[in-house]
Amino acid sequence: MSSYTGVVQKGMRRGHALGFPTANIEVPYMELSGIYVALVTVEGKTYQAAAFADHERSILEAHILDFSDDLYGKGITIELLEKIRDNKRFENDDDLRAAIADDIKRVRESFSKV
């Protein structure tokens, strides 16, 4: 689908506060938006991820599955493989947390089919 490379920057840490930390890269001229099945490559290793693309903020965030290392300042590549859904605003953090958990479940299911 599409691949983006950048240096991981600190974001607002909202995903971390919700229990789903993300690696954030700035993507000038981001044209895509939505939630995606993704692969993240860092230091030659590739990991499965759920990614959030937001063309309004020119940002791409990836929650790397089963990963907890500190990536701030490191170069990564995020490859978007399949769109799961469009972006959506949520009434509260509980609804957002539930949606993210469902997105991650769908990402895991997608990779289990391969």
- For 23, the domain range is 2-112
pLDDT at 114: 64
Summarised one tens digit per residue, pLDDT across range 63-112 is 999 998 889 999 999 999 999 999 888 888 898 899 999 999 999 999 99
pLDDT band of 52, cuts 50, 70, 90: very high
Reported as a single tens digit per residue, the pLDDT across 15-46 is: 777 778 899 999 988 788 999 999 999 999 99
Count of the separate structural domains present in the chain: 1
Give the sign of the dihedral formed by CA 60, CA 61, CA 67, CA 72: positive
Please report, for the domain that includes residue 21, its CATH number: 2.40.30.30
Burial of 53 (0-12, 13-18, 19+ CB in 10 A): buried
Count of all residues that appear for the chain in the document: 114
